[in-house]
Structure 1
Amino acid sequence: MNTELPLKKKSLRLATIVMPILITQVALYLMTFFDILMTGRYDTYHLAGVTIGSSFWIPVYTGLAGILMGLTPIIAQHIGARSRENVRPAVQQGLYVSIVLSAIVFALILFAVAPILGAMPLEAEVRIVAADYLKGMSYGLLPLFAYTALRSFFDALGATRVSMFIILLSAPINVFINYLLIYGNWGFPELGGAGAGYASAITYWLVFLIACSVAWAGKPFAQFNLFKGWGKISFIRWKEILFIGVPIGISIFVETSVFSAVTLLMSNYTTAVISAHQIALNFTSLLYMIPLSISMGATILVGQAVGAGQMRDAKHYSFLGVGLAIAFSFVFVAILLMFREPIASLYTTDGHIIQLAVQFFLFAALFQLSDAIQAPVQGALRGYKDVNMTFIMAIISYWVLGLPIGYLTATYTELGPYGYWVGLIAGLAVGAITLTARLRYIQKNKFN
């Protein structure tokens, strides 16, 4: 990395890293979207089953996969410090960790999901579909977690386009296998919602095999010889991965699970209110892919700069990420304020639900600025390997402040269901301010 790069070229470098990450994240998002869409066209009960199954799958998977994201700053700093000999053992130990994580989730699905589903007030057919969907997904756990480790390797080298091409190649294949297994086309068994789970598992194996072939023979990855000279399990390296990765994973789990909790609390309101809330949440989740991608790009570039001892560059990349995300947030606010009704109309033709969603979008617009600050600041802190404060603030922002404030506002004011969004906005604003202060402290006192 060249310390003499002007800010304009650093901005271009950041954009070059972030764009493939964004495309990858949207493609991953669309895979789950098509699972639900294609199952919905098959049967209402199967749609409900897949929706329930996804609500279990997404927080658990994203949280545990987040642990493997700890590899990204570790490898990025090795690359920046030109200690390439440490890259292979880091990736190999990450793959070992991925095996353990996949075993943990498989055990959870095998032993814990059935009792939880049994305790929920679900119709029997919905419960069966949810369990079968998760069972099908579980066969893809090992390649999914292992791929996450390899993706951290690709991304840490700045080769984010590799992950993008792999996912773009596999996404239409996933849709095609859904077509075969959900509906029973071309002589394949008609599995309904469970078919979406098995299709995802097959796709995960495909993704992993493609990633292995790229890491084995592709340039510049072949020089690292990732699959040669396998070392024994090193708990010292596991400790490094887990020390960074566990706070990342927990903070991601805390963030994703709080939205599931809000959705459950919304069950006190009408079906129309719940549907409108889901519309606003679904669309803002899509918008969030941009600050999330900028956050991941900041982790890579800050990590490489810190590894190379180029602290001025690290600081520049940190605040370029924040500035870029804020710029996009103003665009998102304008979109949400100007096109609320057309956006809601994409999801439903029910006029009452559209009008409720339009109101939710007002609060979603207020959500954007805090989200735009917090996400890239978190990414920059991870680049510095400073992850504990993000973990602590995730808990405080969402569960100590956001959810209680939301509950009290929803229960004791005239805002009703919109109060939950007020709580989340308040909690996220506190988190954004606190983490920005933490970033400034790290840059000034520990990496100056």
Structure 2
Amino acid sequence: MELAAGRTTAAIAVLLALAVASSFLAAGDGVTDDTDALKTAWDTACQDDGAGVVLAAAGHSFLVRNTVFTGPCQGSVTLQVDGTIVAPSDPATWPANNRRNWLIFYRADGVSLVGSGLIDGKGQKWWDLPCKPHKGGNTHGPCDSPVAMRFFTSNNVTVQGLRVQNSPEFHFRFDSCRGVRVDGLSISSPALSPNTDGIHVENTQDVLITNTVVSNGDDCVSIGAGTLNVHIENVTCGPGHGISIGSLGKAGTRACVGNVTVRNAVIRHSDNGVRIKTWQGGSGSVSAVAFENVRMDAVRNPIIIDQYYCLSKSCENETTAVLVDGVSYAGIRGTYDARSPPIHFGCSDAVPCTNITLSDVELLPASGDTVDDPFCWNVYGNAATPTVPPVACLMGGVPRNYEESSNHKCY
């Protein structure tokens, strides 16, 4: 079966006659390299001034090497995956100088990646590399692993309906984009697969993530620096590391995140629930964040702010930090793994967390009768309603240096 590019008018897709361009022909057997066919189909659709469609047809599997789908395009382009797209499974077959991304969409404004098919990153051999952290190694040098799909400098992006599995590293990454809509995805990789974040956004604005299920070995959704206006709703996570803002401020960098809402989510059997994590020594702010109606099921750390994030035992105390201000938790209910307190607010000595509010929070141990006390360090806020467990460790008002700290706000 061939990949096809075409123009859509009045809801009728007219596919280009592939006999005219033999370079479009794809084997679709999952073994033959179909990269050139897919790339040529994209380039042809991109040059058309209508609404182009590139189709990976149902019932066929297309082996695709790492490649870049480049814009800007004359019109909009839809990559419709109803069959399967698979990556090469052996890291040794990848170019030594190009191992960080698999499928890249660059300057592809208006692109849509849709369909009922499967995108398989074939990550197992990447996870088994001896330099991986869970193998006792580190992530430097030759241990780079590809992100499955990266959208870079692309606006008005839609990703909908697909199944995506076993990425060597992040499944989706959106960098320097504006206007991102993700809906109805199923993202999966094993619980012990390293750094397999489901969806990562960074330096990106106006993001909507809905009706998506993520089961993986790292963050369900992770939000990096430079991100503004994110709405996450009806997302189910777990196992994994929950929904995270950060880590932010590493190596003294300035990081800004603002106006994030997580609503009507379910997090199951995860290391974390909803988390904000920052390194000491950074600057900038996390502000205007709302977690609403989130169900926890045996989550180890349901609610956590950690301004002492560190991946080694040698991180030193610093006199600056990323400000965390204006974070609300409402309707957070369910159970926690009793190895850790259900609520952990570890805030900077120099830049305290401020305007932290809780209401309708009820977190009970998944087993046993002991309800652990929350942990608070240098956090200011209030509980608008009684919570379970009670959060008596919040400090009222604002710190003496609040005016100085609030100058860190980015938005």
Same fold (TM over 0.5): no
Between structures 1 and 2, the one with greater helix share = 1
Task: Name the one with the larger strand percent.
Answer: 2
TM-score by length of 1: 0.21
Report which structure shows greater RCO (CA 8 Å, sep ≥6).
Answer: 1
